[in-house]
Structure 1
């Protein structure tokens, strides 16, 4: 149980509701910031403003999967207000306060270094990323069907990055009958792609590899699909960018060329928020229980 632990949840989307539900059943005290547009009826849960929170009692801060923006603000679909977590808030917390975030940033790391807070990046965990890859792959299939006019079966689909998410996506589209190629820089990943019956290519050869692609799905958080690559692609190609912002595709140039492209880094929260929320809730509750045992 999490009886007595004070958790502050700041911003987010529908996934956060499942996390709140789980923490409530474990008897945690939860303060919600950025949830004024939704009714919350869980025991031990209350809505508060940033300045009204007793930060001296806060043992855990839960940020959305997207973390903190470069401007310091935190997004919330349940609020029209601008929400900002500042160093002055963190400096008031106890020494054992932990910040849980989906992804981190230089701004958040700097804030934590100026205080005694510890940052845990959930999407760096293998378990979270692998579980999360399931709704991500299903969402990718949905978007490809919606934004193309041909079947996935026999389509030429290129997946960039054979990480934990890329592997699930590649396997899913292969099972649907697509011709799937994998682009990566790591020789072990390229060998694994070959073993899985996929067509591997090194990212140094990306321009030639994508010339015949009907669909490109990027999972690499670095600019790999540049204007020179896009110039050689088929006009009907659909580009789906699942990497964290700003993504790995030059979307501005894709638009100029008339190519369909989308940047959707929070896909699980869009297509399966309940499942994605339960994944995060289970991991977070285990981490918080471990945190309480080590205090």
Structure 2
């Protein structure tokens, strides 16, 4: 895809890599929201939000779009970039694409007549994004655990996209993989893949034997009662988006080591993650005929 004009607005290292990948394919790319970055951006940043957006066909926001529903998620920008200012600046002919766009932000987009698409509502993006997430989770486990993953007991809570890919990777490393799920169909697939199925009602009976627990469910499943079943030298890695799946205060009180590993694709594999985002953005543009 060439001869399109893009704006890459805020975000982490993935966004910077994305801007450069799109520009390398012959597109005009403006970037904004990286003023305080301590690394080479690869291109000049626009002087203002208006100049960055003015001539674009597509405005690409970060993943996640916002942490507070008010401002663009821009960790490399010292000031605030108000989402309403972005939408006020855009025209009805421009497309806004970002990740994990909340209902509040979607409503604001509709008020300003801005057509928006959530990257993580796209199946291809959600599946591919699970790969660096799973690899990052395994990296954390290897760094934090005093034993090998090989022959350890590992439980995954949830059998969605991340759960499926993580289970496959852990199984390949020789883990004894336990997977918790609610649906009978998921439990059947878990058994079929050679993992140990755990119905949610049986989860607490299995927690005590686990060396590492990976949560992928974005609601609190490891509450105080469940955490009491976890052995003290076990490691919990929470991969779920906010609010997470662990009562972190209770975990701390009970001395269970817990790591909330958010936005792993941007931390462990920003170039690969940027390629996934780029391909998904192109798919969206082709489908919408932008």
The alignment's TM-score, normalised by the length of structure 2, stands at: 0.91
Report the counterpart of residue 40 of structure 1 in structure 2. Answer: 41
Judged with a 3 Å threshold, the aligned counterparts in structure 2 of structure 1 residues 89 and 132 are, in CA distance, closer, same or farther, namely: closer
Rounded to whole Å, the distance in 2 between the matches of 1:40 and 1:187 is 48
Report the counterpart of residue 19 of structure 2 in structure 1. Answer: 20
Structural mapping, 1:1-12, within 5 Å: 1-3=1-3, 5-12=4-11
Aligned-residue offset at 1:56:
5.6
Helix, strand or coil: the match of 1:95?
A: coil
Aligned-residue offset at 1:226:
1.1
Report the counterpart of residue 179 of structure 1 in structure 2. Answer: 176
Q: State whether structure 2 residue 168 is matched by structure 1 residue 167.
A: no
Helix, strand or coil: the match of 1:141?
A: helix
Q: Do the aligned partners of 2:23 and 2:29 also contact (CA within 8 Å) in 1?
A: yes
The alignment's TM-score, normalised by the length of structure 1, stands at: 0.89
The one of 56, 74, 77 equivalent to 1:76 is 74
* Runs (5+) with no aligned partner, structure 2: none
Rounded to whole Å, the distance in 2 between the matches of 1:81 and 1:67 is 16
Aligned-residue offset at 1:7:
2.5
Rounded to whole Å, the distance in 2 between the matches of 1:54 and 1:25 is 18
Structural mapping, 1:1-295, within 5 Å: 1-3=1-3, 5-36=4-35, 37=37, 38-42=39-43, 46-50=45-49, 52-53=50-51, 57-86=55-84, 88-291=85-288, 294-295=289-290
Point out the more displaced range, 226-235 or 16-25.
16-25
The count of aligned residue pairs is: 288
Helix, strand or coil: the match of 1:239?
A: strand
Q: Deviations over 1:219-271 (max 9, x none)?
A: 11111111110011100110101111221111121111111111112111111
